[in-house]
Structure 1
Amino acid sequence: MLNKLCVLTVKVDNLQAAIKFYTEILDFEISKHYGEKIASLVHSEVPIVLEETEAEKRDSNVLPGILSKDINRDFSRMKEAGVKVLFDEPQPCPPGRYFVIEDPSGNQIEIVEFSNF
């Protein structure tokens, strides 16, 4: 069956800028480098891979969702760090609240707090 996600690849403009963002802002760690243009991040569930790709060669972007245990704290932290946040405040969604940020390559990332369970 093809119903289990096994990797999430995020195509980026600049691998070093992406690594800095994902490690310093989102607290991931590098698990492995695969040459000069690909790095894998430590993740307990689905591996996340950053792949440097020229913009005109990208056929799609990815929208990963990252779990927040305190959406207000994380929202403030992103704003203070100068991260591009697409909302003025966390927004309601069926499972709780969320907001969207952009990484240095313009990829959107949802920060989600599951509070309606």
Structure 2
Amino acid sequence: MLNKVCVLTVKVENLKKAIEFYTEVLDFKVYKHYGEKIATLVHDEIPIVLEEEGTNKSGEGQNVLLGILSEHIESDFNRLKSKGVKILFDEPKPCPPGRYIVIEDPSGNQIEILEFTN
């Protein structure tokens, strides 16, 4: 079942500036760094991930990405594919917490489907 939100990713231009804003202005704390371009913030419920993607194209694309929990990424991948859902990868890809795929809803909004293995 793919009906549990498990992470919220905020795409940022500059991770250092984003961390300063989220910690000094909004009072979040950094939980963990995953290399130079990804960090998670301490949050009691849904983890919030800051991911540096470089220059924002002012209004193009999406800057907040919903992550939905998958218990079995392979079977969910195959089920979504059989239903004609637009999947951006040919197979699940690795990520720091496990594996993921990205799909698009009918409006073109991207949604991550994540399986936690680490």
TM-score scaled to structure 1, two decimals? 0.49
Greater strand proportion:
2
